[in-house]
Amino acid sequence: MFPLDLLSSSAPVAAPASPLLADLNEEQLAAVTLPAGHALILAGAGSGKTRVLTTRIAWLLQTGQATPAGILAVTFTNKAAKEMTARLSAMLPVNVRGMWIGTFHGLCNRLLRAHHQAAGLPQAFQILDMQDQLSAVKRLCKQHGVDDERFPPKQLQYFIAGCKEEGQRPGDVAVKDPDTRKKVEFYQLYEEQCQREGVVDFGELMLRSFELLRDQPHLRAHYQRRFQHILVDEFQDTNRLQYAWLKQLAGDEVGGQMRTQGSVIAVGDDDQSIYAFRGARVGNMADFVREFDVQRQIKLEQNYRSFSNILDSANALISHNSRRLGKNLRTTQGPGEPVRVYEAHNDLAEAQWMVEEIRQLVKNDGFERQQIAILYRSNAQSRVIETALFNAGVAYRVYGGLRFFERAEIKHALAYLRLLENPHDNTSFMRAVNFPPRGIGARTVEVLQDAARSAGCSLSDAVTAVPGKAGANLGAFVAKIEVLREQTQGKNLRLIIEAVLEESGLLEHYRNEKEGADRIENLQELVNAGESFVTQEGFGRDAVALPLDEHGQALRQSPVSQGIDPTQPMLDQVLPGSQPAAGIIDIDTGETLSPLVAFLTHAALEAGDNQAQAGQDAVQLMTVHASKGLEFDAVFIGGMEEGLFPHENAMSDSGGLEEERRLMYVAITRARKRLYLSHSQTRMLHGQTRFHMKSRFFDELPEEALKWITPKQQGFGTFTPQSSGGYGGGGYGGSRGGFGAKTETFASPPVPPQKAAPSHGLRAGIAVFHNKFGEGKVLAIEGTGDDARAQVNFPRHGTKWLALAIAKLTIVD
DNA sequence: CAGCTACGACTTTTT
DNA sequence: GTCGTAGCTG
């Protein structure tokens, strides 16, 4: 956007004339141009937080205070990471791939792939999502005869995840009672199972890479030296382990004080901390200030989003919380419309009121439908609202629900793909073994599991131990996988996925199913996703990292390197204008992640885009939690009742109540121009009609900003929509979640033609020699120049992808 | 072994 | 009320 004069690196450090810094307010400018040192930025809702973060990075680069390789910016969601990356590359003609910008888990993944040996993992380790983790837990429960009345698998999963979030291994958990002891024992068994199968769950990604840094001094020192500028987004939502992880990267702790070389900038808002239930610890903010001896705190209190009636409501509400760092949003905008409050007789009437107001907003006030949001505390509330919208023919879209990579048919396909990479992945084995049905029932699987347990091997290896027809069926399945692995050897990702879909029988199965058309469409979409993953996304952001230095030494220069800064260790420095990097590279062997492993990682770490269809002209429905970070011209908050909002489960203790209040604060601050609140006297909940008092939060809002609206008509549900549209015009029935954007996100351009005359002289079919792996046969070549990689089959080590710039391959005559 | 029925849960959720 | 799972029956 801004034409930037990047070449004049002699620009003064505090260049006020820099177009980068134009239009920043005083607070923002101060935050962007903070001198070296640790800082806490309290960024209120709508205060331009993302802009400050990205401009800060751009400014550091532009003024020569940082190189791309020296920057680590971490977020919670892929969406936030993507946005940061996109904005940054719009600001500066810099190759953002050289920077470590990503989610906590994405960056952990990078670390672990690059240092998999030091971390004790196979390079191609697979990542379990929550579904996978739960089925792994269930499997283990069965195997050990765990009483699932006393220890429901869900609870064990929660326990394990909770321990890891606190940074605790089984040995670290304080055992207070017999139940805890049992759980810890189970935790231990679970760990062993994961290690055996070469899989890690989300918590393990964090914990394992934390331990890697903690236990490998030279590695830690290396990264500490490298990342001179660490920036953390949504700091109030970090859990204990994430904070500990950051500390490892920032420096060493001595007597409760951090000794650091670079600077850490934490950006957050304690008033928007709404994830305590999943381990977020607002206290990390205070700890950060103390342990890092933070001298600078900046508050961004200028709000650019809302009219003052809305903002005053938010300020007034949140002032009822104690234990705040203290912040008051202000705006230069006028009061705007009052906040409208509606009391309905029942939930249906509430929904109909919303629909009617929305029609008027669109018809009379020219609001766009996608700029109107209906927020609710719990998902169950959406049904009535959806019905009302549908009946009125108003297009809507519900956020949440299943994402693309979580759909059953996709999970099945992924299970087959994972088995190609790792036959010992029992979670995937279990998912695929009898789907599509091939006569392998629960009984057979039980026999197999017993055999595997007594032989101490994977399910795949145990099939030969199962006798009879059952054994034959199992053998056929394993053989099928092996044939598939054979067939796809050296093929590109698209062909691999296509082969799996066909050979697994998945396509055939869904072709014969009545409702299978959508599923087949999704499976086709998976092929497209694989294709664009390779051609468009360059193997995905999280998978990308160039050579890592295990010993803190500068690495051997790669032959064709240009634009490498010799004063910096050659970690992840990206060649300007080069093709996307080849993926994670093991420095000792030159081994890279295969496109398939990279894709599977991508699928686990990024379950799919939720806002793919956001552009539609449709009213947005979502939970308050899901609305965080978004903004709308008009916002409706329904179900403002005691027991619902604040939720009954959170009302008992003050901590829970304060979190509910923060949740309400988040909801209010989503609105730009109009805010509508409603509550209902009665509501269907869990199949029962319940009576509710109006929420206490109403009493905490400034009376002068509110306008109470009474029902136009008395009685129950007598309201009739009067306008022309009438019935079912929309046909938008809950199209939940999904990848949707078939034409946008995954439009795959023609595959770029292979560059001619490869300098390495390798081609498929010839024999090569590798120092560590010995002699092997080249199966495929991908990429060019520094990014060229070869797939080589070594008789003793299996099939590897090797970066030709790193791996020393000699051609065997 | 697969399909069907009954029963229980049920706040929020990203990686 | 509705979804998902567990257990039973054909």
Model pLDDT for residues A350-384, shown as the tens digit of each residue: 999 999 999 999 999 999 999 999 999 999 999 99
DSSP string, A179-214: HHHHHHHHHHHHHHHHHHHTEEEHHHHHHHHHHHHH
CB A722 within 8 A of CB A390: no
Residue A280: what pLDDT? Answer: 95
CB A781 within 8 A of CB A764: yes
Does any strand C atom come closer than 7 Å to the Cβ of A687? yes
For strand A798-803 and strand A591-592, is the pairing parallel, antiparallel, or unpaired? antiparallel
Which residues make beta-bridge pairs with A708? A341
Quote the tokens at residue A130.
Answer: 């929550």
- Catalytic entry in A670, A672, A777, A789: A670
**Closest nucleotide to residue A202 (Cα to C1')?**
B15
Give phi and psi for A501, each to the nearest 5: -60, -40
Residue A758: what pLDDT? Answer: 57
- Catalytic entry in A233, A269, A425, A658: A233
pTM for the model: 0.85
For residue A523, is it left (φ>0), alpha (ψ between -120 and 50) or beta? alpha
Give phi and psi for A170, each to the nearest 5: -50, -40
Hunting for tokens 């203290």 — which residue is that? A326
Does any strand C atom come closer than 7 Å to the Cβ of A320? no
The response to whether A120 counts as a known ligand-binding position is no
For strand A706-709 and strand A767-770, is the pairing parallel, antiparallel, or unpaired? unpaired
CB A789 within 8 A of CB A762: no
> Which segments of chain A have a pLDDT < 50?
1-16, 541-582, 611-612, 614, 714-757
Q: How far is CA A175 from CA A78, A168, A186, A288, A410, in A?
A: 36, 12, 13, 29, 40
Residue A440: what pLDDT? Answer: 87
Query: Is the bond leading into A178 cis (omega within 30 degrees of zero)?
Result: no
pLDDT, tens digit (0-9, with 9 covering 90-100), for A409-466 = 999 999 999 999 999 999 999 999 988 888 888 888 888 988 998 899 999 999 998 8
CB A463 within 8 A of CB A478: yes
- A504 CA vs B1 C1’ separation (Å): 20
The residues near A36 (Cβ < 8 Å, ≥ 6 apart) are: A65, A262, A263
Residue A784: what pLDDT? Answer: 65
d(CA A739, CA A6): 37
Q: What single-letter amino acid sits at A345? A: H
**Closest nucleotide to residue A687 (Cα to C1')?**
C1
Protein-proximal nucleotides of chain B (any atom < 7 Å from a CB): 1-3, 9-15
Active site residue A369: no
Residue A577: what pLDDT? Answer: 30
Hunting for tokens 């054979």 — which residue is that? A486
Q: Name which of A260, A237, A273 is nearest A75 in CA terms.
A: A237
Residue A615: what pLDDT? Answer: 55
Question: Taking the CA atoms of chain A, what radius of gyration do you get in angstroms?
Answer: 28
**Closest nucleotide to residue A688 (Cα to C1')?**
C1
- A380 CA vs B6 C1’ separation (Å): 22
- Catalytic entry in A49, A164, A226, A281: A49
For strand A682-685 and strand A688-691, is the pairing parallel, antiparallel, or unpaired? antiparallel
The response to whether A589 counts as a known ligand-binding position is no
Protein-proximal nucleotides of chain C (any atom < 7 Å from a CB): 1-2, 6
The response to whether A491 counts as a known ligand-binding position is no
Active site residue A77: no
Which residues have CB atoms below 7 Å from chain B, the nucleic strand? A 76-79, 103-106, 129-130, 202, 275, 277-278, 377-380, 400, 434, 437-444, 470, 605-607, 610, 622-623, 625-626, 647, 649-650, 656, 660, 686-687
What is the largest distance, in Å, between two alpha-carbon atoms of chain A?
92
**Closest nucleotide to residue A148 (Cα to C1')?**
C6
Residue A354: what pLDDT? Answer: 97
d(CA A135, CA A429): 11
- What count of Cα atoms within 13 Å lies in the side-chain half-sphere of residue A780? 15
Which residues make beta-bridge pairs with A260? A251
The response to whether A567 counts as a known ligand-binding position is no
- A686 CA vs B10 C1’ separation (Å): 7
Does any strand C atom come closer than 7 Å to the Cβ of A741? no
The response to whether A650 counts as a known ligand-binding position is no
CB A656 within 8 A of CB A650: yes
The response to whether A48 counts as a known ligand-binding position is yes
Active site residue A234: yes
Residue A548: what pLDDT? Answer: 40
- A47 CA vs C4 C1’ separation (Å): 42
- Catalytic entry in A27, A132, A201, A234: A234
Q: Name which of A673, A691, A674 is nearest A682 in CA terms.
A: A691
Could you say which DSSP state residue A36 is in? Answer: S
**Cα end-to-end span (Å), chain A:** 54
The response to whether A678 counts as a known ligand-binding position is no
Residue A204: what pLDDT? Answer: 97
d(CA A4, CA A18): 8
Active site residue A49: yes
Does any strand C atom come closer than 7 Å to the Cβ of A380? yes
